[in-house]
Structures are given as C-alpha cells and as structure tokens.
Amino acid sequence: MSSIAALKQLYADIDALQGAEALMAWDQQVFMPPGSAGARAAHLGCLLRMSHELFTSDKMQRLIEEAAKEAEPGTEDAATVRVLKRALDQRTKIPATLVEEKGRLGTLGHEIWAKARQDNDFGHFAPILGQLIELTKQEGECLGYTDHIYDALTDQYEEGATKKSWDHMFDGIRKPIVELVAAIKEAGPVDDSALYGDWPEADQRAFCDHIARAVGFDFNIGRQDTAVHPFCGGPSTTDVRLTTRFKNYLPSAIMGTLHEAGHGMYEQGTPVEWAGSPLAGGVSLGWHESQSRTWENIVGRSHAFWTFMLPKLHEAFPATKAFDADSFVKLLNKVEPSFIRVEADEVTYSLHIMVRFEIECALMDGSLAVKDLPEFWNEKYRSYLGIVPETDSVGCLQDVHWSAGAFGYFPTYAMGSILSYQVFDCLRADLGDVDAMMAKGEFAPILHWLQEKVYRQGKRYTPADLVQRVTGKAFGPEAYIAGISAKYKALYGI
C-alpha cells in the first residue's frame, strides 16, 4: 500500500471517532436528558482522547512525511497532506500541559463569566480573563508568528489570516459603514412591532422546514431540530444536523434556519467520494460563514425571495397578511444600532466585530489592561455605533468566546459577511437575472453554482486560493460595501 493510501485509511478511523463525538455533542444539545451530563462527559472525553492520540501518533507523523514525498504537487493527494500537516502542527506545537491548563481555566472561566454576566459584575470576571490572556499569549508563542502575536492566534481559525490582513479588511469598511448607519438613522426609525407576537411553535417549525427544503437543504442526508443555541453540526457531510429555536420575533427562527441551512448545504455539497476524508467540508470559518450569510442575508432578506415566499407565510401565519413584499422586506431589513451582537442587523453587525477585533489586538499586545476593558468597549461603541451600553452585561460581558480563551475568532464573522457579497457578485455575473429566478422560487441554479464553485472544492485549496479561484481576485471589501450601500439606500430612500 502506498503511504498516501495508508494515510487516508488511518484518517478514516480518526474521522469515525470524530463523527461519534459530533453525534454525541449534537445529542447533548438536542435530546440528552438533563441528568445524563456526567456520563456523556466521560464518554465524550474518552473518544476525544482516542482521536487525539491517533492524530498525534508516530504513525500519523511518519505517514504524513512519507506521503509528502509521494504526492505530486497540485494534486488532491498533495492537498490531503497539506491539510493533515497543518492540523497535526496545530495539535502538537502547543504542549499538552498548556492545552490541559487552558481546558481547565476555560471551564472555570465559563462558569465565572456566566455568573459575572448575570450579576453585571466585570470585576468578578477580570482576574480569570487576565489568566486566560496570559495562557493565550503562551499559546501564540508556541504556534509562532512573524509580525504580531495575533497572527498566530487568528490563523488557528482562518488559515493565512493575520492582524495586518484583518486591519486591511476593517480599514475598508469602517468609514463607509459608520456613515451608512448614520444616514439610515437620519431617515427615521422603522416600527417592526408587528413582527412580534404569539406565533405557534408548531407552525414556525413547519414553515422553517419548508423554507430549508425550498432553498435546497437535503433532508435525505440531514435534519432540523431545536436547541437553545442554534448551530449546524452532525457526524458527516452525509448526515448534517441543523438546529433552530423559536421566539416571539417571527423572523428569528426563519432567518436562523436559512443561516444554518447555508452552513449545512456547504457541508452537504462535499463530493460523495470525499466524505470522511481530510478534504471534506468547509475550508475555513470565514468561508463557512460566507455561505450561511449568503442564504440568510443576500437570498433570505431580498425582495425577490419574499415575492415568492410571502404567500406561504400568509398561509402559515394569517396575521402577516397585512404585509406585501415591499413592507415586509423593509421590516425584515430594519437597521438600528443595538448592544447585542447576535441580534444585530446586517449593516451594524460588522461594527460589533470591529470593536472586538480592536480590543483583542490591544489585549494581546499589552496596550490595553484588563481593568480598562469596559471603558474601552463603551468608548468604541460610542464612536462606531453612537450608543453606550448601560451595563457590562450587555457590553463587554455579552460574548462567550473570551471566557474560553478564544481570541482571534471574531473577525471570521465579518469576513463571512464581506466574502458573501464578493462571491455572490460573481454568481450574478454568471447566472444573469438571479432576482427573477428567486421570485419564481428557482433556487436550484444558485445552489448548483455555489456547489460547483465552492462546496465541491472542500478543503482542496487554501481559503485565500479559493477566493482567487472563485472570484478572480483577492479577498476585499469592495463588493460588500457597494452591495449593502445600494440595498439599504434603496430600502431607506437615501
């Protein structure tokens, strides 16, 4: 057997273990009885240890080295070696003691953070946040970097990204978005109170399933359930699990479903022959988010989409008959600076991320002390969004990420929004009148284009290479700025 074949065989075992982990983790959020957490943690812990040991085994290391000599440059095999080598590096560069200590502090940090958020007591969270930052810096030193420690951290989430590349991204959107938000504010408030109500859960569930099916999520190799925090998971690209939740704001579950279905269709788009291989699934967090946002924002918040879907909505929720496509889409795209990132609209969302990015960089290079974080946060919100949170609970304590020591993750969300427009512009150029298709409920050509160009490429190319291949240029904010400016200026008549 060739080294490449042996390497793929070894990885198939790791993938099987990881699939079992994913299914257990999904079940934990969806079906597991509350008293079963102890047993689940033990079982999951054992599987995680086994897959980690296989991944970091001498055999794996040796096979990667041998396969690297065997694989022809530019081939799928070469990509397989590259992907596995990067994953192995990430797992082995950081000493086990540091991983363990961060795991321990992260669990503790999560508990302390939840209490601090509940009590609006940043002082309670500050000491452990300081410890987590110190550990994360050590991690960055182990991983290595050339310019800024942030480079090492963020590369774990987005291959090839650096502080400089994120600076460039945010420099391109800061001024135009802040100005657009100000202009929208001038145009006056939008009253969307009609979207709040006692919408029956069973009706919401049926409508959400309908909408996921309509855009092309394949229920033959996927399903949708409810969970407290919606996510897309599951054991394999041929078994994708979406979750959603139902609220009194009608678009919440609908938009959430389209978002998670976007993640899910990306996974399901993996070529069948790659299922369970190192090349299966989305290439990076930023790319993944670009697809969830494509289906949620570009498709799901468009006039064309609701031209087709509104009669169905009227049928499911008769109270919505008061709306036509014009009025409904205007409410659905309401823009208003607010404190909570996860509830933010499409325009202000990136500003929330920019605040976090600037804070993370400052915390990592020591220019911001932990004790000064709340004031710094509030000042950034004032300058970018024009609002100042009244409490830290809805300010710097709102996100879970830092409590687990995840620094460098946030920018991938903004990258997703920005990249979604860059890719969709190319889709429009190829397919012609996409709005006319959506207005007739024809989503298949859109899905097929994305499958062909993006989903079927899996992890074959690096994230930056894939951007170049799909769009013909490097990642940049131009299409995003042009797209959302045009969309919201039209909606708000400015």
- Contacting residues for 42 by C-beta, under 8 A, at least 6 apart: none
Site track 23-62 with Zn ion (rule: CB under 5 A), x = hit: ----------------------------------------
Backbone dihedral angles phi then psi of residue 241, each to the nearest 5 degrees: -110, 115
Instruction: Give the pairing type, strands 232-236 and 239-244.
Output: antiparallel
Report d(CA 127, CA 242) in Å as an integer: 36
Q: What is the closest distance, in whole angstroms, from the C-beta atom of residue 259 to Zn ion in the complex? A: 6
Torsion of CA 117, 118, 122, 128, to 10 degrees: -70
The DSSP bridge partners found for residue 239 are: 236
| Residues touching Zn ion, count (CB under 5 A) | 1
Active-site residue (options: 21, 260, 267, 296): 260
* Of 427, 401, 364, 23, the residue nearest 166 (C-alpha): 364
**Stretches 92-100, 218-226, 289-297, 455-463: which one binds Zn ion (CB under 5 A)?**
289-297
Nearer to Zn ion, 156 or 292 (CB): 292
Backbone dihedral angles phi then psi of residue 223, each to the nearest 5 degrees: -155, 170
**Stretches 199-207, 286-294, 308-316, 486-494: which one binds Zn ion (CB under 5 A)?**
286-294
Nearer to Zn ion, 63 or 283 (CB): 283
**Stretches 76-84, 114-122, 148-156, 292-300: which one binds Zn ion (CB under 5 A)?**
292-300
Alpha helix (H) residue ranges in 386-443: 411-431, 434-439
The residue of the chain with the least Cβ separation from Zn ion equals 292
Backbone dihedral angles phi then psi of residue 32, each to the nearest 5 degrees: -60, 130
Q: What is the closest distance, in whole angstroms, from the C-beta atom of residue 292 to Zn ion in the complex? A: 4
Q: What is the closest distance, in whole angstroms, from the C-beta atom of residue 284 to Zn ion in the complex? A: 13
Nearer to Zn ion, 166 or 409 (CB): 409
**Stretches 134-142, 284-292, 417-425, 449-457: which one binds Zn ion (CB under 5 A)?**
284-292
Q: What is the closest distance, in whole angstroms, from the C-beta atom of residue 42 to Zn ion in the complex? A: 30
Q: What is the closest distance, in whole angstroms, from the C-beta atom of residue 263 to Zn ion in the complex? A: 6
Q: What is the closest distance, in whole angstroms, from the C-beta atom of residue 178 to Zn ion in the complex? A: 24
Backbone dihedral angles phi then psi of residue 233, each to the nearest 5 degrees: -140, -145
CB 307 within 8 A of CB 441: no
Q: What is the closest distance, in whole angstroms, from the C-beta atom of residue 230 to Zn ion in the complex? A: 9
How is 219-259 classified by DSSP, letter by letter? GGGEEEEE-SS--EEEEETTEEEEEE---SBTHHHHHHHHH
Residue 109 structure tokens: 């940090």
What is the separation, in whole angstroms, between the first and last Cα of the chain?
66
Nearer to Zn ion, 294 or 378 (CB): 294
Nearer to Zn ion, 276 or 286 (CB): 286
Task: Give CA separation, 130 vs 112, 356, 371, 466, in Å.
Answer: 13, 16, 9, 37
260 is catalytic: yes
Site track 243-282 with Zn ion (rule: CB under 5 A), x = hit: ----------------------------------------
Report d(CA 268, CA 281) in Å as an integer: 8
Starting at the edge strand found earlier in the chain, the sheet holding 239-244 runs 222-226, 239-244, 232-236
Nearer to Zn ion, 3 or 292 (CB): 292
**Stretches 158-166, 183-191, 285-293, 474-482: which one binds Zn ion (CB under 5 A)?**
285-293
Scanning residues 469 to 488, which ones bind Zn ion (CB under 5 A)?
A: none
User: Which one among 18, 162, 284, 292 touches Zn ion, defined by CB under 5 A?
Assistant: 292
Nearer to Zn ion, 236 or 292 (CB): 292
* Of 55, 73, 179, the residue nearest 489 (C-alpha): 179
284 binds Zn ion (CB under 5 A): no
Q: By the criterion CB under 5 A, which residues form the site for Zn ion?
A: 292
Active site residues: 260
